[in-house]
Amino acid sequence: MKSDSNVPPIDPPSLAERIRLEMDSFTPSEKRAAHMLLSHYPFAGLDTVAEFASRAGISAPSVLRFVTRLGFGGFPEFQRHLREELEAQLLSPLAKASPSDRSHGAPALAAFAESVIGNLRATVENIAPAEFDAVVELLSDQRRPVHFTGGRFTGALARYAESHLRIVRSHVDYIEGQPALWRDRMIEIGRKDVIVAFDIRRYQEDVTALCETAAKQGATVVLLTDPWLSPIARVARHVLPAHIVAPSNWDSSAGLLLITEALVAAVTKRLWETAKPRMEAVERLRNEKP
Amino acid sequence: MKSDSNVPPIDPPSLAERIRLEMDSFTPSEKRAAHMLLSHYPFAGLDTVAEFASRAGISAPSVLRFVTRLGFGGFPEFQRHLREELEAQLLSPLAKASPSDRSHGAPALAAFAESVIGNLRATVENIAPAEFDAVVELLSDQRRPVHFTGGRFTGALARYAESHLRIVRSHVDYIEGQPALWRDRMIEIGRKDVIVAFDIRRYQEDVTALCETAAKQGATVVLLTDPWLSPIARVARHVLPAHIVAPSNWDSSAGLLLITEALVAAVTKRLWETAKPRMEAVERLRNEKP
DNA sequence: CAAAAGCTGTACCAAAAATTTCAGGTAAGC
DNA sequence: GCTTACCTGAAATTTTTGGTACAGCTTTTG
């Protein structure tokens, strides 16, 4: 067997690593098995063949072929290996950041991820706690209708926010950026309303116009933007900036998503008393579908 | 369901702890079993009854009586408990910090961010480079139409991907999840088409149905999902799993966004020759609007 | 010191798990 | 367009494993 005879002196030839390397040469169902295993490594491999197979969506024989292909004499032998590896790793306190693992993964993806992570850290540092709290408070006030909006790219984030928050509380909607689509709705917007706008560079005039109109009618505007600040900042009550520069021809919205998810999490917690029954009700309705 | 548990997660007393407490009341061979288990906790319990018995120097039935005494219905049940305990303990070094989150505001944001960052790292590690590259290649083939789709929350991510990629290349669109909205379009879907589906837990039947239909007609399905793998994985050619667990009542999509942005960046680079003029043309058209 | 109660292990059985066989299906190659 | 090679899962088979009954031994107790 190859891996036995010619082992380079590098310590842990983690099975996970080997699987990643050999991923190319796997058949489709072997790939399923590999993904399943890697995504819950190594616990997915610790129960029975049948369980493993069903979770990976393949048949038991395919799982057997998979472990055979990895060089094991059978499933029990494979399991023993996983257990020993896990035990060894767990007992050595320093084994946490296995450096051999860090270097792998899609190189492009890994570099991109590091950059995004840097953005997230920078974003968190530059957000004023009071500002964040104030926005949570604002979105938790159920008497105030909340409207999300965004530009051609950030619109998706606005929808994301809306799809979550609308389950937690009522009076939540999404407004399309194009003026033709919101002009008439502006009649309804007043002092009570809250507009949450997403806008990053190549700032979009129509979104700005929407916010300015709403602000003029007394609405409270919350802006999620980049560090250069969309012009909407002039009419916004609260501004939450996120770092967006990534090694790409496009900007990264991960920081905006982070803020969005954190806001949703905080509001959900804040309103839990009323949110819980709502969420359960939504769940029930969904299950009645057929 | 996750959202059912309002109760702060009081750490369930580890089995090891319980054994220590009840140690006095054990019979001699039970004590030997207990010591054996505690000294190699929890790995000693992870192999067969016979192995355990021999290591502890007792007989198999004694081991069985021991686990029964601990309140388990049988040895497999006991093993399952150990695995789950271990997994929970190992996978959430961050989640442990969450019970103390009575704190408000920025601390919450910072904690949330750290958790998300952990997800991103884990996501990168579990993506096979070959899989990522293969998807980039697939999306870079301009002869193959690309269709994005997603569920009620992930639909927003699909739109996000679509709004970027449609600028880079042609034949890119977004398909609504509801069957009524895509049934007729399926006529057009064939071997050349590529479906990119976003689907995380509380997997949506309509999205699954869409992908299955498309796959049946020969389309290539790419799936972005969570580590538990949406049922779509069964018909997907490529699967890119992202970690999604966050200290929130909701799952975090940051890992999916990361993959999405990395894919878009890679495809843009790959197609730069043709993408650049396209992007410039789009820019020009946008500026002509007023 | 004797009888009862309780542990413990051997031998056996039943259940479940892993593995092999085989046939249908799919994609590559001629 | 046909053949070949390979992948895949259903079902049958074998092996392993967990579980149980029972009898001997040890400890406790009156």
Nucleotides of D under 7 A from a protein CB: 6-11, 16-21
With contacts defined as CB-CB under 8 Å, which chain B residues touch A47?
A: 80, 83
In this complex, do B112 and A262 lie within 8 Å of one another by their Cβ atoms? yes
Q: Are residues A129 and A259 in the same domain?
A: yes
Do B176 and B210 belong to one domain?
A: yes
Q: Do A105 and B124 touch (CB under 8 A)?
A: yes
The verdict on residue B97 lying in a domain is no
Asked if A116's CB is within 8 angstroms of B261's CB, the reply is yes
Please give the average per-residue pLDDT across A257-279, as a whole number: 94
Do the chains contact at A264 and B248, CB–CB below 8 Å?
A: yes
SS (H, E, C) A93-127: HHHHCCHHHHCCCCHHHHHHHHHHHHHHHHHHHHC
Assess whether A144 and A265 both reside in one domain.
yes
| CATH code, B78 | 1.10.10.10
Taking all atoms of strand C, which protein residues have CB closer than 7 Å? A 48-50, 60-61, 64, 67, 73-77; B 27-30, 58-62, 65, 76
Residue with the larger pLDDT of the pair A284 and A5 = A284
**Residue B15: inside a domain:** yes
Identify any residues that bridge with B239 across adjacent strands, giving them in sequence order.
B223
pLDDT digits (tens, 9 = 90+) for A226-243: 987 888 988 899 999 999
- In chain B, the number of structural domains is 2
Interchain contact A138–B (C-beta under 8 A): no
Cβ-based contacts of B90 with chain A (< 8 Å): 90
Q: Do B123 and A113 touch (CB under 8 A)?
A: yes
End position of a domain, from candidates A47, A71, A103: A103
pLDDT single digits (tens) A176-195: 988 888 988 999 999 999 99
C1'-nearest nucleotide to the CA of A26: D7
Output A48 or A100, whichever has higher pLDDT.
Answer: A48
- A3, pLDDT greater than 80: no
Q: For A57-66, B86-95, B154-163, B171-180, which range has the lowest pLDDT when averaged over its residues?
A: B86-95
| pLDDT at res. A106 | 56
Q: Can you say how many angstroms the Cα of residue B32 is from the centroid of all Cα atoms in its chain?
A: 40
Q: What is the pLDDT of residues B9-21, one digit of tens each?
A: 444 567 887 887 7
Whether A134 and A195 map to the same domain: the answer is: yes
Q: Give the C-alpha separation, A96 to B127, whole Å.
A: 19
**Among B47, B85, B124, which would you mutate to test the A interface (most chain A Cβ atoms within 10 Å of its Cβ)?**
B124
In a domain, B71, yes or no: yes
The first and second tokens of residue A203, run together, are: 């700032």
The pair of three-digit structure tokens given for residue B181, joined into one six-digit string: 């909205």
Tokens representing residue A170 in the block: 């009522």
Asked if the C-beta of A123 comes within 8 angstroms of chain B's C-beta atoms, the answer is: yes
Is residue B104, in this structure, part of any structural domain at all? Answer: no
- Min mean pLDDT across A93-102, B111-120, B225-234 is at A93-102
Split at pLDDT 50, 70, 90, the class of B229 is: low
By the 10 Å C-beta count (0-12 exposed, 13-18 middle, 19+ buried), B71 is classed as: exposed
Structure tokens at A43: 């616990």
Confidence (pLDDT) at A170: 95
Write out the two tokens for B196.
């990119």
Q: Which domain holds residue B6?
A: 2-91
- Predicted confidence at residue A130, as pLDDT, reads 87
Q: Are residues B144 and B243 in the same domain?
A: yes
Rounded to the nearest angstrom, the gap between the alpha carbon of residue A229 and the centroid of all alpha carbons in its chain is: 24
Task: Give per-residue pLDDT as tens, B157-201.
Answer: 999 999 999 999 999 999 998 888 888 888 889 889 999 999 998
Distance of CA B67 to the CA centre of its chain: 33
Q: What is the pLDDT of residues B61-71, one digit of tens each?
A: 999 999 999 99
- Indicate if the pLDDT at residue A156 is higher than 70: yes
Same domain, A220 and A241: yes
Best probe of the B interface among A14, A22, A27, A35, by most B CBs < 10 A, is A35
* Tokens 């359960």 belong to residue: A280
Does some domain include residue B147? yes
| Res. A199 pLDDT band, cuts 50 70 90 | very high
A94-114, pLDDT tens digit by residue?
Answer: 333 333 344 444 577 989 999
Residue B98 lies in a domain: no
Judge if B174 and B240 occupy the same domain.
yes
What is chain A's mean pLDDT, rounded?
85
pLDDT at B159: 97
